[in-house]
Amino acid sequence: MSMMTRHLDGFVPSSLLLQMARRNQSMAQVLIKSLANTNSLWQGSGARTSQIFRFVGAASSGDRFMYDAQNGTTRPGKLVRKEGEANVSDAVVNDGYDHHGTIRDYYLKVHGRNSIDANGMALKGIVHYDQDYDNAFWDGEYMTYGDGDHTLFATFMLLNIAAHEMTHGVTEYAVPGGVEYWGQPGAINEHLSDVGGANVESWNLNLSASQYHFLVGKGIWVPSNDPSETLLALRSMRNPGSAYNSKRIGKDRQPGHMKDYVKTSSDNGGVHTNSGIPNHAYALVCDGIEAAKLGNDWASTIGVADKIWYAARPNIGNKPSFAQLAYWTLQACAVVPESEEKLRAIVSKAWSDVGVTPSKTAADTLTPGPSGDDVVIDEPAA
């Protein structure tokens, strides 16, 4: 499988599903089936070969089309709601329709971008995929949502999840040739999607940096009755490594600093793990803007960081390192000329605080090559 493949997993990494299957024998079959179905769908997806999809005759304005797989595995299923139609009786269909509209509105109103591809791509969603399917993913054409098993995973129909996944598409179109899905480039790919999810959600809620939680996938877990367990989200951008700590799931081991960088060939070279480092930098920038009293609402705090990261993305190339992303975000501070110098200081400090030195040319030298073993070594919950 090519390392240039944009997105090999669903929202929940295969490595985490495997880890959870080992910890939850009664749920192992459901978790492994979810993992296998995701992999099978990817093998047959045109997104793997960078084909560009269009909904013929209706793609000029990002129209929405929602399908119901009716808990089967044949996609897309039955068309149950399309652009301009009223609510249906299924709340999941309506939520997906609304989430896709929010994502479309965000990219258009904030960045002047006409849908995911900047050319009015139709936003097509599939709900109720399979039975107890524990994932959600964007494959280049459809956003597909499982219902979750309701024992471990509560739901995948969350705005943050939809925006994260569909932002993978934005990155694919914004960076010619896409961003390699391995090591630091792959972690940046995941980071940009986490940023996209946070930006869309906080924009929709109109929250400033200090008001927003910066949790990726908040609401995804079924709550625990054990008060010693932590189940906040799948990832935490502000405090990497603190999103979950549970006997059922394991311990969140995302690093927030380069000194804790995980050198692994698992998880495509740690793409879902080491993304915690640039995630942390982004949250620090958002918080730093507000702390410097440059703003106190979404547009003047998170919205400013959003402009910088959005402007930096097309310049990063196919194999960016964290150092190169840092360099391009510093250059992109020029998109806010009235505060450029202050913003450069805030962005520079944020990268320094996570142990990254900006460089236009420094490559990723920390990630080992593929080993053929994509299973994370599990550790007991602390």
Per annotation, catalytic residue among 190, 272, 280, 290: 272
State yes or no: is 99 an active-site residue. no
CA angle 131, 133, 136 (to 5 degrees): 140
Quick one: how many helices (H) and strands (E) in the chain? 10, 10
Owner of token pair 């236009």: 360
Owner of token pair 């084909």: 51
Owner of token pair 């219902």: 147
In eight-state DSSP terms, residue 365 is -
* Calpha distance 222→231 (Å, rounded): 8
With beta carbons less than 8 A apart as the criterion, state whether 282 and 288 touch: no
Give the SS3 label for residue 42.
Answer: helix
Stretch (H or E) spanning 124: strand 123-127
* Calpha distance 81→61 (Å, rounded): 16
Please report the sign of the dihedral spanned by the C-alpha atoms of residue 61, residue 302, residue 201, residue 178.
Answer: positive
* Calpha distance 330→357 (Å, rounded): 11
Alpha carbon distances (Å) from 160 to 77, 96, 207, 230, 310: 24, 12, 14, 20, 17
> What is the 3-state composition of the chain as percent helix, strand, coil, each rounded to the nearest 5?
45, 10, 50
Is the peptide bond preceding residue 76 cis, with omega within 30 degrees of 0?
Answer: yes
Q: How many CB atoms lie within 10 A of CB 176?
A: 9
State yes or no: is 338 an active-site residue. no
Alpha carbon distances (Å) from 97 to 111, 162, 259, 345: 21, 11, 42, 40
State the Cα torsion 185-187-193-199 to the nearest 10°: -110
Per annotation, catalytic residue among 7, 128, 164, 165: 165
Q: Hey, which residues are catalytic here? A: 165, 272
